[in-house]
Amino acid sequence: MEEAQIARLAAVTEALKFLEGRELIGLGTGNTTELFIRRAHERGLLRGKSLVTTSSKTAMVLAELGYRDVNALSVEELDLYVDSADEVDLEGRMLKGGGAALTMEKLLAKHSRLRVFVIDESKLVSKLCVRHPIPVEVLPNALRMVLSDLKKLGAQASPRECNGKKGPVVSDVGGFIIDVIPPEDMDLSEFAKKLKSLTGVIEVGLFLDEADIVIVGFRDGGVRYIKRTRE
């Protein structure tokens, strides 16, 4: 097994313990979340639980394993939310949206009693948004207007293009995804507020207060916890 796989599996295995005693579970999107689901299934840890998904991809994984997901329309609060991240800094602040599911991911994270995020050590960074741009979801009709507004803020932005078809990436909730590079030395909390204030923006991939626990897996099979206090 490759070192990266060892690190990811270590973090996923550690996260499984948080399923105990929790019945209504939210699940994020991506390879690490899929690994979490499959490991939990193998151990019978999802049996009898209600599962809420953030994307059609995650719903399809559950269907393959014989589970039905609960429609988020019927949910007010989750017992647990489990997901991964594209980047996490040493304070537990995160960048997400590589899988274009950021709106549902933030929605479920905001309405969960406990939020656990699982990453391998390659996702741990000293500063967010150096490796990756910030995903921003916008209303399709607002695309060009939001791009213009972002330019006025001093940001660089471009629609994310699909690999499988021509045109912008479309999320499960019908928004277009824009990838945004913030102005140099811009405070991310302040920039996130500016982004959310733009008419036409649905959600922003800066998850600065959405983690209670981040579990980091390492190549030697060890794990480390980063814990945040809710603001």
Tell me, yes or no, if 105 is annotated catalytic.
yes
The strand pair at 94-95 and 176-181 is best described as: unpaired
pTM of the entire structure?
0.95
Domains in the chain (CATH in brackets) are 3-126+208-227 (3.40.50.1360), 134-204 (3.30.70.260)
Q: In sequence order, what are the residues at sequence separation of 6 or more whose Cβ sits closer than 8 angstroms to the Cβ of residue 27?
A: 33, 36, 37, 51, 52, 53, 54, 58, 62, 81, 82, 83
Per-residue pLDDT of the chain in tens (231 residues, 90 and over written 9): 787 899 999 999 999 999 999 999 999 999 999 999 999 999 999 999 999 999 999 999 999 999 999 999 999 999 999 999 999 999 999 999 999 999 999 999 999 999 999 999 999 999 999 999 999 999 999 999 999 999 999 999 999 998 777 788 999 999 999 999 999 888 999 999 999 999 999 999 999 999 999 999 999 999 999 999 887
Closest CA to 26 of 60, 3, 55: 55
- The catalytic residue among 14, 34, 87, 105 is 105
